[in-house]
Amino acid sequence: MSTGHGNHWECLLKPVDEAIKHFIPVTINEGKLGDSIKRKGLWFNREQSSTETVVPVILGTKFFGTMALVVSDSNESSNVLYSAYPYAAKGGKQHLRLTEIRDWGNEVEAVLVGENKDGIEIAFFDTKYFINRDRYRIGESYDFRISGVIYKARCTNEEVIEITDQKRIAELHSGFSEEPECLKDGTLAPIIIHYAGCTGYASTSEKYPEDAEFYCVIGKVEEFDIEGIRMFKITPKSGDKTVPLPGLIYGATSMFQDGYVPKAGDSIGGALWTQGFLDEPLKRKRS
């Protein structure tokens, strides 16, 4: 394959070697062929350009599965498995102004960076970049379908941050224009901050901005199976509208700590891989 999605495959099954052996052959053998597209470029690290056919092969449910990209090699009269990755066919809609395209230099893959109407940035791996790349213009706005695939997650219902530093306690109370509570010994009472009910999303890497930390309250959970792997489709409860939290989050059972099983009303947090694609029909507006 031209590029690696090793840690992304580990969202479904660990170790990565087992995930690749488990999913890629069955995707190629049993997956549904998507619409092919011809692309001219410097394929296979060659110095001379050629026009090759890219064929997506998709396996899974109507909302989540795996995708393999098979590319013709006209020089060798053969077909090559070029890339493969977990693929969310359904995501929450976000209207973003495109600010950066981080092309992977392999003709078919890229990470897009955009801003929502509040100027908050979100980056995601574009699972259909090979189809839509010619449509994109920096500075223009588009509708995308954004989702997250969990690397690891935990229930945060009982999780708290306890602040005991006296100076910090005084600063926080001052910021909220509150009088701090004093204990019998004259010290200020600790401040307890609860994760329960929290909505949050933030990139954790400059190099890989599509990797993010997240927090949400679960609004809805659906259970499904993909090639023997038990999965959950999580719809976060609507929280802070300025937070670019993916509208759908997918997680394998084994990615949840301590055997936790997601259920509506619980708060969860963790790390995820953000992905998405251009919403159709194409809607492009100048900002």
* Residues 169 and 287 reside in one and the same domain: no
* Residues 16 and 95 reside in one and the same domain: yes
Residues in the chain: 287
Residue 119 predicted with pLDDT over 80: yes
* Residues 86 and 125 reside in one and the same domain: yes
* Residues 222 and 278 reside in one and the same domain: yes
CA angle 184, 190, 191 (to 5 degrees): 140
Span 34-93, pLDDT tens digits: 999 999 988 988 889 999 999 999 999 999 999 999 999 999 999 999 999 999 999 999
Q: How large is the average pLDDT for residues 113-138?
A: 96
* Residues 45 and 97 reside in one and the same domain: yes
Characterise 36 by phi-psi region: left (phi > 0), alpha (psi -120 to 50), beta (else): beta
* Residues 137 and 225 reside in one and the same domain: yes
* Residues 45 and 128 reside in one and the same domain: yes
* Residues 250 and 121 reside in one and the same domain: yes
* Residues 16 and 53 reside in one and the same domain: yes
Q: How large is the average pLDDT for residues 217-239?
A: 95
Q: What is the domain extent for residue 261?
A: 1-159+195-287
Q: How much of the chain exceeds pLDDT 90, in percent?
A: 87
HSE-CB at 75 with a 13 A cutoff on CA atoms is 11
Q: How many domains is the chain built from?
A: 2
* Residues 235 and 114 reside in one and the same domain: yes
Span 186-205, pLDDT tens digits: 999 999 999 999 999 999 99
* Residues 186 and 254 reside in one and the same domain: no
Write down the pTM of the prediction.
0.91
* Residues 258 and 177 reside in one and the same domain: no
